[in-house]
Structure 1
Amino acid sequence: MAVIDLNADLGEGDGPWRLEPPADDALLDLVSSANVAAGYHGGDAATMAVTCAGAVARGVAIGVHPSYDDREGFGRRRLDVPRDVLRAQVAHQVGALVAVAATVGARVTHVKPHGALYNAVVHDEEQARAVVEAVLAVDTGLAVLGLPGSRVLALAQDAGLPTVVEAFVDRGYRADGTLVPRAEPGALVTDPAAAAERAVRLAVEGVVVAVDGTPVHLRPASLCVHSDTPGAVALALAVRHALRDAGVDVRPFAGSTGPAPADPGVSPLVGADVPSTTSPAVPSTTSPAPPPGTAVPRP
């Protein structure tokens, strides 16, 4: 049976950038991993604690969602931050969530950069190094999520960190495997049926179709639904049901602090495979069909 992780970026608050109220509780019932904002683009100590508590109660794996220091721009503006400053800022966010999670009996399993930082570390060597160095300084067992072929995943793997290739069911792709900028046509996928179809193909074949019609081979271990995508809950629900109907088991890639979430509205699958806690190595997006590899195992 195919296995995939389904993650969402949560705990980001209800600032003016949102198109609708946060739906974190509903999304926690649908995802297997949660990336929690740690105060620099959204959220605060209280939202971190509430989100972590909700995740651990549902068996959802918890990750840090660090960003540039940019609450005004919700972390979606590219900033030219010196490497040492960015390293300290990311370490601050990672360490903060690790500490807050511990207060509710939870542990952190992974790190996924947010917004403009996520896109920057695909190609920016200095900023990618800053992120990896920050993670290493806090916990060498934390996995790093990112786009396939990105510098941050390559550097993380070289440093001995587990790496996880991620794909988005609600974002448009370019032919080179990068995301369509949010200001451009085709950047968002908001139709639940389209997102569900995309999720199944990504989970089963490892392929997504770019906005120009090019098949892009990503081979992800985790799929993301953004909590601020319009209709995020309906979209995530459609994805969960489509994956179930396709025989794909949704499980945390990095384990959890509780039982795995059951499919919403249906009985749990019987005889489901338990996934490995290791993730695939960074595949090359220049190859038409990159083979899956094996990441450094979690200590």
Structure 2
Amino acid sequence: MKNPFAKTIDINSDLGESFGAWRMGNDAALLAIVSSANIACGFHGGDPDIMRGTVAMAVQHDVAMGAHVSLPDLQGFGRREMAVTPNEAYALTLYQIGALHGFVQAAGTRLHHVKPHGALYNMAARDAKLAAAIARAVHDFDRSLCLFGLANSALIDAGRAVGLPVAAEAFADRRYCSDGTLQSRREPDALIQESDEAIAQAMAMAREGHVRAIDGSIVALQADTLCVHGDGAHAVDFARQLRAALEAADIGIAPPHGMERHA
């Protein structure tokens, strides 16, 4: 069937981040809206039961699944930087991909992508050696997996260097610095709180390939996938509004690279 939209973009969300009796976000509702799910693998959130349940829900909604790999920092939710070597980054990435792969394979489907989380994501965006180690781990596990990384970052470059399909990621609800990096979450205005402003930013990135930085400058940014954070109080409503706005602009929603998810 011919795609009725002029172009497509992916909407991804970080899911499966609950742990034990503690719950985060409304994964079931978000999975009915997004096209890709980054599933926590136990290092910053998630546990075996949560991983299995999140995979089952993603299969039900035909959502592409990826390993959301993190530094080993459950208490800090993976948002604290750690002095890991490239060899350690390679090993922890491979370990977490393998953990999620077991649940995905048991569900009769396959992994689509890998996306680092939190501090590891930001470190790999600027550290070429760390980025190369993560990309090599993804490649060595399965060279058909798509590597998600911050647009214009070292991680995207590293993925391309080893021949991985890559998806340049942009954030609807995060503010950008003039060099294309994300404003630190330590800053009070790092998150865009107003839905209309976040949707306007996402539309500019999706349609025009740029974002306005905090200093007012315009930064070129070609996005393959837009991240919607799943842990906010209004995450589901925002995701629904964003998808509606994109489709109204003749932009379809689909995982990057059109990879078949079913084995």
Q: TM-score with structure 2 length normalisation? A: 0.92
Cα distance in 1 between the residues matched to 2:237 and 2:20: 21
> For structure 2, which runs of at least 5 residues remain unmatched after alignment?
1-5
Letter in 1 for 2:238: L
Cα distance in 1 between the residues matched to 2:10 and 2:236: 16
Maintained 8 Å contact 2:19/2:47: no
- How far residue 30 of structure 1 moved from its aligned partner, in angstroms, is 0.8
Tell me which protein shows more helix as a share of its residues. 2
Cα distance in 1 between the residues matched to 2:99 and 2:148: 19
Cα distance in 1 between the residues matched to 2:203 and 2:254: 15
1:40 maps onto 2:53 in alignment: no
Please list, as runs of the form range in 1=range in 2, the aligned pairs for 1:255-274 lying within 5 A after superposition: 255-257=259-261
1:147-194, Cα deviation, whole Å (9 max, x unpaired): 122112112111111111110001111111100001113210132222
Query: What is aligned with 1:240?
Result: 243
Cα distance in 1 between the residues matched to 2:125 and 2:41: 21
1:198 maps onto 2:201 in alignment: yes
Secondary structure, counterpart of 1:220 in structure 2: coil
1:130 maps onto 2:138 in alignment: no
Cα distance in 2 between the residues matched to 1:240 and 1:14: 28
Aligned CA distance change for structure 1 residues 181 and 48 (closer, same or farther; 3 Å)? same
Segments of 4+ in structure 1 off by > 4 A?
Answer: none
- Count of residue pairs brought into register by the alignment: 256
Cα distance in 1 between the residues matched to 2:174 and 2:187: 11
- How far residue 15 of structure 1 moved from its aligned partner, in angstroms, is 8.3
Of 219, 223, 228, which residue of structure 2 is paired with 1:220?
223
Query: What is aligned with 1:262?
Result: none
Query: What is aligned with 1:108?
Result: 111
Query: What is aligned with 1:62?
Result: 65
Q: TM-score with structure 1 length normalisation? A: 0.81
- How far residue 22 of structure 1 moved from its aligned partner, in angstroms, is 1.5
Of 155, 159, 178, which residue of structure 2 is paired with 1:156?
159
Aligned CA distance change for structure 1 residues 87 and 24 (closer, same or farther; 3 Å)? same
- How far residue 106 of structure 1 moved from its aligned partner, in angstroms, is 2.1
Secondary structure, counterpart of 2:101 in structure 1: helix
1:67-88, Cα deviation, whole Å (9 max, x unpaired): 0011011000010012222211
Query: What is aligned with 1:118?
Result: 121
Secondary structure, counterpart of 1:183 in structure 2: coil
Query: What is aligned with 1:83?
Result: 86
Query: What is aligned with 2:253?
Result: 250
Query: What is aligned with 2:33?
Result: 30
Aligned CA distance change for structure 1 residues 256 and 27 (closer, same or farther; 3 Å)? farther
Query: What is aligned with 2:56?
Result: 53
Of 7, 11, 16, which residue of structure 1 is paired with 2:12?
7
**Taking every aligned residue pair, what percent have the same amino acid on both sides?**
43
Aligned CA distance change for structure 1 residues 217 and 93 (closer, same or farther; 3 Å)? same
Cα distance in 1 between the residues matched to 2:139 and 2:182: 27
Secondary structure, counterpart of 2:169 in structure 1: strand
Letter in 2 for 1:145: F
Cα distance in 1 between the residues matched to 2:57 and 2:193: 26
Secondary structure, counterpart of 1:133 in structure 2: helix
RMSD: 1.8
1:82-127, Cα deviation, whole Å (9 max, x unpaired): 2222211110001111111111122111111000000001111221
